[in-house]
Amino acid sequence: MADQIIHEMIAAFSVGCMDKQNFVQFKEYMQQDGELPDGEMGELQNIVAMIPIILDIEIPHPSIKDKVAKRLIEIKDEIKAKILNERKSSSTFSKTFTAPIEGQDEISFKDTKTQSFSPRLTNINLKQTRTSKDDFAEYLEKKKTKTLTKDQTGLKAETTNQEFVAAPLPPVKEDTFESIPKKSEAYVQTKAEEVKTSTVQNINEAEENKPSSWVAILSIIISLLLFTVLGYYSFINIQKLNNKITDLQNELNTAKDQLSAANNFLENYYALVEFFNNKDIVVINLQAANDSISNSAKLLLSFSEKSGLIQFKNSKNLQTDKAFQLWAVRRNQAVSMGVFQPSGNEFLRITQFPPMPKEQIDYYKITIEPTNGASEPSSNLVLTSQFTR
């Protein structure tokens, strides 16, 4: 593998865009004892590079899409059925309505005294009443009948043979039968025309307004349904994404814990390897000062290299402002070798080595002191040992 490709992979990893194919290729290269450029990646990056993180795109379940599609088809069918019903009802209304007949408006009112009109002026009922002419004709018939009866009973023939002279007709007032019907005829015609125009306009307005109002209502209903479906779908997706994020955070925290444990193990491993490469190593066991304490410790010292390690076992939990302090005792004089706050069974490096040969040290002890250490050991003794020369 060329150095340029390695540099490209390192750059891709540093910005977080290394894909799976490059990672597999890089892993195979490392497994085949491939060499990396000096100074390109540290130990932490070498460890993290072995942990690929792959994010999959979340795809909604097909059942959700099927439900939404079925619901939309049902809504479409309902809309079509409502539109057909509206059209049928409007056509039925237009067929049943009949306008007034023009011939009925031209009716003579000369021989009438009372008229009755329906609300739509479709039927005009005329009631025939007796007039003065009818009364006069009846009078003539009675007169003629009376004359004939007298002739039959033996009265004078002259009276029967006389020519009958009609009485003059009574005067007729023109205003009584002519002025009123003329006004009524004009009134009926105007009213009929007004009714025609108003009904036609109302029908046209109803036909124009109904479809637009239904379309607006249907559009609002469809919009509400779509917003409801989209809101529900968005809520489910957001909830799933939140769950995914929570799971990824938990996995990331677990990976961090594992990484820190691996780092601690590597540090302890490297520290042990480096320390055991030294010569003149002394192992000292520190036991509890009394039977009520179950703690113990192991002390590794190399006087030739002036270095050492200490490991606590079953160490009790201390307060936040307390720590263990190691002392080297020589002729009842204690010399501090460091302050420690162990969190497990790891090896801790000794920071202060006693400036004296090992033959002059009588024993070692550990006391509980403040976190910043003490110049002289307190009476709170935890662990102690006797040094064997």
Residue 110 burial by Cβ neighbours in a 10 Å radius (0-12, 13-18, 19+): exposed
9-38 pLDDT, tens digit per residue, is 766 666 566 777 777 877 787 788 777 666
Q: What's the pLDDT at 374?
A: 86
Name 363's bridge partners: 329, 386
Secondary structure E strands in 174-303? 281-288, 296-302
Q: What's the pLDDT at 253?
A: 93
CB 160 within 8 A of CB 148: yes
Q: What's the pLDDT at 97?
A: 47
Give the residues of the chain that fall short of pLDDT 50. 1, 54-55, 97-129, 155-167, 169, 172-183, 387-389
337-356 pLDDT, tens digit per residue, is 888 888 877 788 887 887 77
Q: What's the pLDDT at 1?
A: 45
Residue 99 makes CB contacts below 8 A (sequence gap 6+) with 196, 199
Task: Count Cα neighbours of 129 within 13 Å in the Cβ-side half-sphere.
Answer: 13
Phi, psi for residue 88 in degrees, rounded to 5: -65, -45
d(CA 363, CA 282): 13
Helix (H) or strand (E) holding 85: helix 62-96
Q: What's the pLDDT at 123?
A: 42
Q: What's the pLDDT at 34?
A: 72
Rg (CA), the chain: 61
d(CA 192, CA 44): 100
Q: What's the pLDDT at 102?
A: 47
CA 325 to chain centre: 60
Residue 148 makes CB contacts below 8 A (sequence gap 6+) with 160
